Structure 1
Amino acid sequence: MNLRRMFAIVLKELRQMRRDRITLAMIVGIPVMQLVLFGYAINLNLRGLDAGIADQAATSASRAAVMDMVATGVIAPSLVAQTPQQLMDALRRGEISVGVVIPPDFERRLDEGREAVQVLVDGTDTVVQSAAIQLAQLPLGAAPPGARPPPAAGSGRISVVAFYNPERRSAVNIVPGLIGVILTMTMVLFTAVAIVRERERGNMELLIATPLSRSELMVGKVLPYAAIGLVQTSVVLLLGLWLFQVPIRGSALDVYLAAVLLILANLTLGLLISTRAQSQFQAMQMTFFVFLPSILLSGFMFPFAGMPRVVQWAAELLPLTHFLRLIRGVMLRGAGLWELWPEVLALVVFTALMMTAAILRFRKRLD
């Protein structure tokens, strides 16, 4: 073995990596991204859950009870309701995670040591359920002299009722999210290498010679993969129903429409990556930079409510974040797409922007 020749190869590889800015970014960027995301953005100790309050008693004692619950930091009031039904509607739409109901006879129930407050929880996220259960340990005001002594904290003074997943089965939460994760991984990757593959195989010359416009070429690249995405969606839904008994409480049509929105968003993002990458390997590297934040920040693996506000703003730019709200709302809470229109609008706007950027960046040239 000639050490001089081997050292020449080592030096050549280092110089090549230095010229490849994508690889250089991966070397430094992946450790930095993981450290920042896991150390700063991921937090399993949930605080500030969006909560709706229906204080039907409207007394000083009921207001004090609400203030005590807010003081724990577990909930943050974001909605004032008049009836429990309004809270249930907000839960179904995903506007709140917790609803607090104080009945009109709150003080009498408190004096008698009975259930005085009911906490309604969106059980589609088991971590949110666990955080809300902490409220059941909160003691309400002491009974007046001569009244029956109050029971111990957590024995019924505040009851927590979990909807949509009372058994706290993790599969109910994970399987709908897996549809989004699989579609994000495959759709972005498939189209990220689409234009690059044509260039590497020498097919770009043939495409340049055709009368195809840039828009026709890009849309033609997207449509076959959209059909593949729908097949993947069907496979996950059928296996989830068969193996884990994951319910579909909403319309199956809405489920597929939500999947189509994510598929198109991911395909257009992949096309944009494809116009930037110089090789299939670079395309896969750039896809990884999209996939990792999507998994960690969208609310699939870790609760969205536990992230710092700045990170939540960044996560709103990811299609998977909006899809998870859509698919869990439709499948688990029985909501309609029209009730979740902000998420639908976000995905439509994202798709339009990515498609426009990909078309503008693509040139039917070899250089």
Structure 2
Amino acid sequence: MPRRRRVGVLAASARASGKRILAIFIARNREFYRDTAGLVWNMLMPVLMIVAFAFIFGAGSQTLFKVGLLNGNGTAPSAPASSDPIHAFLAIEAIRFVPVSEPEAGIAKVARHQLDLLLDPSAPSRYWVNPESPNGSVLERLLLGATAVPSENGPSPQRETATGAALSYADWALPGVLAMNLMFSSLWGVGWVVVRYRKNGVLRRLKATPLTPLEFLMAQILSRLMVVLVSSLVVYAGAMMLLDFPMRGSYLALLLIYIAGALCMISLGLIVAARLRTEELADGLLNLLSWPMLLLSGVWFSMEGTSAAAQALSTLMPLRYLVEGARAIMIDGAGLLEIAPQLALLLAMAAILIAIAARLFRWE
């Protein structure tokens, strides 16, 4: 074959290949922008994330220290009395004050360096500090400097110590990471799959059988519950091999709190899948449910000191109670009685969500 003809054939082949690639490229783009739900979600998600972080943390300067305020409201007085040395300390803007209702819990946080200092402003005032905490030492000097001027309110605060090893961020975050893994597996494991069953006609065929919607949903719940518990066990075992994290509570209590949390998340996924026909829309709604829970449930950062509105919204998130319960068991050594409120709330939410899912479910 002449060289010129060979070059022509190769050029024609390259043009044909380019046309095929261009055709697939155009078809995929059309598929993407014709999927209105997916398109809107891809554009809306980053904006929602930015707005969510601004809503949670609010505006203003960043604080340098974290002080627990025993039996207080966690805020510094707007107009501190000049004659009250404790109020002068509370007015320091570089300190974030966190309300603490139980002295034992606050002292434990000081020992683990989760709080730089714990202050009881009631007369006679006291404070707890970890001598090994650098931030605690600085705050102690600020407090003693503010209370060095004699006043009619009595002597300087009484010093108490709370010693203990610092709790690493990995140790603190691990219960939340396990809960996050459980949440994603539960939501997508049933929500996305059931929608696919409906789209492929599987549910239409099941409708012709004596199977009731509640029976079908219960089978989905039990199957996914077994899967998420086994996967969580594998993740926990892997983390135990790689990290020296604390596990101070009862394994039975930890198992029960994760079972309750999984039931709640699976039921929530079934509500999403009750009537939807496309996986793309289900994926968008599941993301819309999961990301606020990640941001407002204390998975990656503590909700202490965040805005009041963010803390109020976090009480509606089932993931929050799962994270709180697991963290209390693993870090604080809580037993069944201590996590009973979180366990009861998760089970109550699960029962309500299962009833709603059964009511909304449609085969077609």
Q: Which moved more, 1:197-206 or 1:67-76?
A: 67-76
1:75 matched residue in structure 2: 97
Q: Distance in 1 between matches of 2:36 and 2:108?
A: 46
What do the CA deviations read for 1:65-84 (whole angstroms, capped 9, x no partner)?
643443345325553xxxxx
Change (3 A) 1:26 1:177: same
Q: Distance in 2 between matches of 1:49 and 1:343?
A: 26
TM-score, normalisation: structure 1: 0.72
Q: Distance in 2 between matches of 1:196 and 1:38?
A: 31
2:274 is paired with a residue of what secondary structure?
A: helix
Task: Give the % identical residues.
Answer: 23
Shift of 1:252: 0.5
**Does 1:142 find its partner at 2:160?**
no
1:100 to 105, 119, 127: 119
Q: Distance in 2 between matches of 1:16 and 1:344?
A: 42
- Matched-pair contact (CA < 8 Å) for 1:53–1:100: no
1:153 matched residue in structure 2: none
**Does 1:186 find its partner at 2:180?**
no
Letter of the aligned partner of 1:351 in structure 2?
Answer: A
After superposition, where does 1:162-201 map in structure 2 within 5 Å?
A: 166-201=165-200
**Does 1:37 find its partner at 2:52?**
yes
Letter of the aligned partner of 1:88 in structure 2?
Answer: E
Change (3 A) 1:105 1:195: closer
Q: Distance in 2 between matches of 1:254 and 1:37?
A: 33
1:294 is paired with a residue of what secondary structure?
A: helix
Q: Distance in 1 between matches of 2:130 and 2:85?
A: 16
Aligned length: 320
Q: Distance in 1 between matches of 2:258 and 2:317?
A: 15
Q: Distance in 2 between matches of 1:303 and 1:162?
A: 22
Q: Distance in 1 between matches of 2:281 and 2:160?
A: 54
- Matched-pair contact (CA < 8 Å) for 2:297–2:317: yes
Change (3 A) 1:170 1:90: closer
After superposition, where does 1:204-223 map in structure 2 within 5 Å?
A: 204-223=203-222
- Matched-pair contact (CA < 8 Å) for 2:69–2:120: no
Change (3 A) 1:269 1:45: farther
1:326 matched residue in structure 2: 325
The alignment yields a C-alpha RMSD, in angstroms, of: 4.0
Shift of 1:187: 1.1
- Matched-pair contact (CA < 8 Å) for 1:319–1:347: yes
1:52 matched residue in structure 2: 70
**Max radius of gyration: which structure?**
2
- Matched-pair contact (CA < 8 Å) for 1:69–1:135: no
Change (3 A) 1:316 1:134: farther
Gaps of 5+ in 2: 1-14, 17-21, 73-82, 151-155
- Matched-pair contact (CA < 8 Å) for 1:298–1:315: yes
- Matched-pair contact (CA < 8 Å) for 1:100–1:120: no
Letter of the aligned partner of 1:100 in structure 2?
Answer: L
Q: Distance in 2 between matches of 1:315 and 1:248?
A: 26
2:290 matched residue in structure 1: 291
